[in-house]
Structures are given as structure tokens and as C-alpha cells.
């Protein structure tokens, strides 16, 4: 749990609004390239043994929500395998350092999840390293803002969005479920975009809506196996992906559309992944938790 949760704070002022001090960066974006660094809970998250001995896979674990979740899981007692793109090696090494400093086993795998065989290999590697798999967090995603509307979305971009965000989830789950015992958990990362789509993120929003439906269907399908499936639907969150995929004009006001008036920090999302991974949420499956700064997900 973050120590910030123990003190009363104005949520609109808890973190400064990022974006105005940053410029766009090349995709996929690295934490070191950002002028305003995201808060992953490195200095604040305090664990309480809620995931003691668990074995987890987190895709997109090098930075952003993935790194914050990896740090939280490790401090709650889990061993963690993170998946990242080859060009994100530097950020992945930093996440690994935080996991090992928490006294847990860390494994880093470079993979392109648009490839079915690489998704299968991720699950194989986790079972080989840990002996089993208790938690799968499918978090890796791709987006690219398009101000030219429908005509600006190329078939290549559309294919990349769907392969990264939806196909990879399907492949990972299909490989993982036969390896999972009752009590295991799958957590997906959807988005407020699934419910309140932005026109410049049409393809991304569609992929996130697919994730919501996949989560609800799989959660119901796996009840007989004792495997729970839930989703976290974030609102705007400050991660390296944002300045790597957003115009400077939109970057200036990123997050301002949320009722709380600012973007979230990754550290504010991680406790929800811990909750869904732990026994505290044992009566929840096929559900979506909105962490949107006040934007509705209905």
C-alpha cells in the first residue's frame, strides 16, 4: 500500500499535471526521455504479504503501469516475470532492479507479443523459471493518435493495435489457462476509452472495448476451473507511451479532461492490480474496475 493513502490529500492536487513540460519522444518511449518522470511507487509502496509466494507474469512491465504493478507485486511477496520490447531493455533493467531489491526473483523477457509463438514462449518461460503460474497481467498495449480521422489510420496501424492489444491477450490466456490451478488470476488492462472513446484514438478504443468483452466472457467461462478474470480500466495515466504516441498539442492538456483535472500516476493504479490479484477480491470475476479520475465507464 502506498504511504500516500494514509494521509488525507486533495486528489486534484496530489500529483502535478504532467505534459506541459514534456515534448514528444520517439516510440516506444523510455522513462529517461521524459522531463517529468512518472511515479511508479518506488519510494512509497509498502507491501503487506498479500501475494506471498505467488508467481506472476506482467506484460509491458518495463515502465508505466506495468512497472508500478511489478514493484507492488514484488513488495507483496510475488516473483515476477516482465515482458518488454527489445528496445525497452533499459527500462526493463530498472524494473528488474526494483523487484530484486524487494527480495523477489525477477525475470525479464524481450518479446514482440504480436507473434503467437512469442506469446507461447513467454508462458513457457514463466513456468520453467517459477514452476507454476498464479497471476497473468496482460498489460502491454499500443496506440497512435490520429488527427486525420478514419482516413489517417493505415491498415498497418490498425493491425498493430489489434495484434498488440487483443490478439496477444488471446494468445497469452490460451497458453496460460491450462497451466493455472484453481485460485489463479488473470488481470487485463482495458481503458476508459472502451466506454468513452476519443475520436483520435478510434482503433485503440475499439481494441479496449474488445478487451472488456473478452474479460467478461472469459471470467464466466473459467468459473468452473476456479480461475478469476478481471480488468482494470484506467483513465489518462502518465507513462512513456503518451509522449511517444501523442501530438505536442494534445500533450499540453493530457489528463485535463478527467473530472479530477489531471492524469494519474502509475503508482495510483498498482494497488488495484494488487487487489484483483489477492484473496481480498475472491468474490470478484468478470468485472471491470474503473480508475478514471471520475469519468464514467457505464
Residues serving a catalytic function are: 204
DSSP per-residue string spanning 209-269: HHHHHHHHHHHHHTGGGT-EEEEEEE-SB--THHHHHS-HHHHHTTTTTSTTSSPBPGGGT
**What's the CA gap between 193 and 199, in Å, rounded?**
10
CB 237 within 8 Å of CB 274: no
3-class secondary-structure state, position 183: coil
Strand partners of residue 230: 187, 287
C-alpha span between 189 and 212 (Å, rounded): 9
Quick one: cell of 128?
520453467
CA separation for the pair 10, 249 (Å, rounded): 28
3-class secondary structure, 94: helix
> Which 3 state secondary structure label does DSSP give 122?
helix
Amino acid at each position: 500500500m502506498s504511504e500516500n493513502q494514509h494521509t488525507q490529500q486533495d486528489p486534484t492536487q496530489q500529483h502535478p499535471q504532467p505534459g506541459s513540460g514534456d515534448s514528444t519522444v520517439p516510440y516506444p518511449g523510455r522513462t529517461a526521455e521524459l522531463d517529468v518522470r512518472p511515479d511508479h511507487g518506488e519510494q512509497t509502496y509498502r507491501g503487506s504479504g498479500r501475494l506471498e509466494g505467488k508467481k506472476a507474469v506482467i506484460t509491458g512491465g518495463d515502465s508505466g503501469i506495468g512497472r508500478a504493478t511489478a514493484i507492488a507485486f514484488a513488495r507483496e511477496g510475488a516473483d515476477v516475470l516482465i515482458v518488454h520490447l527489445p528496445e525497452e531493455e533499459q527500462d526493463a533493467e530498472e524494473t528488474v532492479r526494483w523487484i530484486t531489491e524487494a527480495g523477489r526473483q525477477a525475470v525479464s523477457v524481450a518479446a514482440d507479443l504480436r507473434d503467437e509463438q512469442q506469446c507461447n514462449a513467454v508462458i513457457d518461460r514463466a513456468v520453467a523459471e517459477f514452476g507454476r503460474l498464479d497471476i497473468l497481467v496482460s498489460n502491454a498495449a499500443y496506440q497512435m493518435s490520429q488527427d486525420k480521422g478514419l482516413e489517417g489510420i493505415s491498415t498497418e496501424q490498425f493491425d498493430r493495435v489489434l495484434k498488440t492489444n487483443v490478439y496477444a491477450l488471446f494468445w497469452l490466456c490460451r497458453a496460460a489457462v491450462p497451466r493455472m490451478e484453481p485460485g489463479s488470476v488473470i488481470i487485463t488492462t482495458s481503458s476508459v476509452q472502451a466506454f468513452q472513446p476519443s475520436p483520435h484514438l478510434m482503433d485503440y478504443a475499439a481494441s479496449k472495448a474488445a478487451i472488456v468483452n473478452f474479460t467478461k466472457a472469459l471470467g464466466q467461462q473459467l468459473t468452473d476451473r476456479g480461475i478469476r478474470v478481471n480488468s482494470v480500466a484506467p483513465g489518462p495515466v502518465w507513462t512513456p507511451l503518451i509522449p511517444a504516441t501523442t501530438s505536442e498539442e494534445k500533450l499540453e492538456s493530457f489528463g485535463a479532461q478527467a473530472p479530477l483535472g489531471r492524469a494519474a500516476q502509475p503508482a495510483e493504479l498498482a494497488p488495484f492490480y494488487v487487489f484483483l490479484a489477492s484473496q481480498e477480491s475472491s468474490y470478484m470475476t468478470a468485472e471491470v474496475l474503473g480508475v478514471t479520475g471520475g469519468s464514467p465507464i457505464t
